[in-house]
């Protein structure tokens, strides 16, 4: 029985890899194929030559790796009762789950960092940061410079505030094109993530008096601005370095007068990214204006 199950699984695994080859490895296709590298973890792209005899080979090698697994399960089965169908069913379920996880890794890299940039061009790719918890999803991979995994949202361009005066009277919710669990999985799989944030202002307060905030992953109202590396409340980047246009203030916009100025920089705290909302105020009186810019979530490197 156990041996039969293993054989079925091997056929399943082999079938899956063959289907993938046929579906995705068409000549001229931009879809990628990956195989597990020698370390059993890192992805390596398959070299596609366009000749079908060569296509078959990686699939067969993958299937041959499985007998090791079969041997293990066989030993377990002998020590237990062969007619214990519930246990056997559970074992089968576990094995299928394990196999699916392996096949998933076989098909999709955890992030853009696992894609061989030397053979690929920047563009949209499917990644799978954590197969146990989230479905694979599409991201933009930037292979110019350090490899970046990029997730965009619905407010990518600079947006002017609608006129309003009280603290945080202007509210904008930020929506991402993938689910929060998927974003968090990518963040956890990456060594660094960042998001650019900017407020351009004319006579409009930013952090002083609590006029503006950005909302963290869990909706907490955050009180420091991009580029403030100490993450101290009420600090912008210029406040950290003592370079604000009004040296008595911690943000350029907190001078609260014309001419136009701005505060900008990267948020880099992996525990609070991505930004889920932006709120501003002090833009209701004549001559007061504000514009906000929020970049995509950009993740780099590997966390392990
Ligand atoms: C890709 O990375 C390069 C180098 O860091 C940068 O100049 C460019 O703007 C990035 N492209 C996108 C689409 O983010």
Each residue's pLDDT, cut to its tens digit, for the chain (304 residues) gives 444 444 333 434 433 333 333 333 333 333 344 444 444 444 444 433 333 333 333 434 434 434 434 434 444 444 445 568 999 999 998 988 787 777 655 678 999 999 988 888 999 999 999 988 889 999 999 999 999 999 999 999 999 999 999 999 999 999 999 999 999 999 999 999 999 999 999 999 999 999 999 999 999 999 999 999 999 999 999 999 999 999 999 999 999 999 999 999 999 999 999 999 999 999 999 999 999 999 999 999 999 7
Alpha-carbon gap, residue 298 to 226, rounded angstroms: 14
**What is the C-alpha R_g of the chain?**
26
Q: In angstroms, what is the span from residue 109 Cα to ligand 1's centroid? A: 21
Residue to probe by mutation, ligand 1, list 117, 125, 141, 142, most atoms within 8 Å of CB: 142
Q: Where are the domains of the chain?
A: 153-300
- If we measure between CA atoms, which residue out of 293, 284, 286 comes closest to residue 167? 284
Q: Are 211 and 168 in contact (CB under 8 A)?
A: yes
121 lines ligand 1 (CB under 6 A): no
The whole-number pLDDT of residue 104 equals 57
Ligand 1 contact, 300 CB (< 6 A): no
280: enclosing H helix or E strand: strand 277-280
Q: How far is the CA of 238 from the centre of ligand 1 (A)?
A: 25
> At 219, is the secondary structure helix, strand, or coil?
coil
Segment 65-71 long-range contacts (CB within 8 Å, at least 24 positions apart)? 66/6, 66/9, 66/10, 66/13, 67/6, 67/10, 69/6, 69/95, 70/2, 70/3, 70/6, 70/10
| C-alpha 298 – ligand 1 centre gap (Å) | 10
Check if 81 has its Cβ closer than 6 Å to any atom of ligand 1: no
Residue nearest to atom 14 of ligand 1 (CA): 142
User: 157 CB less than 6 Å from ligand 1?
Assistant: no
Ligand 1 within 6 A of CB of 145: yes
3-class state of residue 125 by DSSP: strand
- 147 CB under 6 A from ligand 1? no
Strand partners, 194: 298
Q: Output the DSSP codes for 60-83.
A: HHHHHTTHHHHHHHHHHHHHS-TT
| DSSP character at residue 122 | S
- Measure the CA–CA gap between 108 and 88, rounded to whole angstroms: 30
pLDDT computed for residue 57 by the predictor: 39
Q: For residue 142, how far is its CA from the centre of ligand 1 (angstroms)?
A: 6
Question: Mutate which of 121, 148, 192, 266 to test ligand 1's pocket (most atoms within 8 Å of Cβ)?
Answer: 148
Which CA distances in Å does 280 have to 135, 150, 168, 229? 35, 26, 4, 22
Q: Which atom of ligand 1 is nearest to the CA of 296?
A: 14
The CA distance from 265 to 133, in Å, is 32
pLDDT at 84: 83
Q: Which of 210, 214, 197 is nearest to 272 (CA)?
A: 214
Q: How many Å separate Cα 40 from the centre of its chain?
A: 22
Q: Does domain 153-300 have CATH number 2.60.120.1000?
A: yes
Question: Half-sphere exposure of residue 73, counting CA atoms within 13 Å on the CB side?
Answer: 25
pLDDT for position 83: 66
Other Cβ atoms less than 10 A from the Cβ of 101: the count is: 13
Which residues are CB-neighbours of 23 under 8 A, at least 6 positions away? Answer: none
Q: Which atom of ligand 1 is nearest to the CA of 140?
A: 13
The answer to whether the beta carbons of residues 295 and 196 sit under 8 Å apart is yes
Q: What SS3 state is found at 209?
A: helix
pLDDT at 131: 81
- Give distance in angstroms: CA of 87 to centre of ligand 1: 53
Mention every residue, 6+ apart, whose C-beta is less than 8 A from residue 211: 167, 168, 204, 205, 280, 281, 282
Cβ 230 under 6 angstroms from ligand 1: no
Both ends of the chain: CA-CA distance in Å? 39
């Amino acid at each position: 029985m156990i041996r039969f199950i293993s054989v079925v699984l091997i056929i399943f695994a082999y079938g899956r890899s063959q289907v993938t080859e046929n579906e995705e490895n068409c000549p001229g296709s931009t879809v990628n194929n990956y195989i597990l590298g020698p370390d059993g973890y890192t992805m390596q792209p398959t070299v596609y030559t366009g000749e079908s005899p060569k296509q078959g080979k990686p699939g067969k090698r993958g299937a041959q790796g499985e007998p090791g697994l079969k041997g293990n399960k066989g030993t377990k089965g002998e020590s237990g009762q062969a007619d214990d169908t519930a246990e056997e069913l559970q074992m089968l379920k576990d094995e299928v789950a394990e196999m699916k996880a392996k096949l998933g890794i076989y098909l999709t890299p955890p992030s853009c960092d696992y894609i061989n940039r030397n053979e690929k061009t920047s563009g949209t790719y499917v990644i799978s940061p954590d197969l146990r918890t989230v479905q694979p999803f599409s991201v933009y991979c930037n292979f110019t410079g350090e490899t970046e995994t990029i997730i965009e949202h619905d407010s990518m361009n600079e947006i002017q505030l609608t006129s309003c005066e009280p603290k945080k009277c202007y509210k904008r919710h930020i929506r991402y094109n993938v689910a929060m669990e998927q974003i968090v999985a990518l963040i956890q799989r990456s060594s660094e993530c960042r998001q650019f944030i900017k407020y351009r202002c004319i006579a409009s307060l930013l952090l002083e008096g609590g006029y503006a905030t950005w909302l963290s992953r869990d909706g907490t109202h955050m009180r420091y601005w991009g580029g403030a590396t100490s993450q101290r409340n009420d600090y912008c980047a210029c406040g950290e370095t003592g370079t604000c246009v009004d040296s008595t203030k911690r943000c350029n916009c907190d001078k609260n007068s014309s001419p136009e100025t701005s505060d900008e920089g990267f948020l880099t705290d992996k525990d609070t990214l991505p930004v889920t909302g932006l709120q501003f105020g002090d833009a209701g009186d004549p001559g007061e204006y504000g514009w906000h810019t929020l970049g995509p979530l950009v993740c780099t490197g590997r966390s392990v």
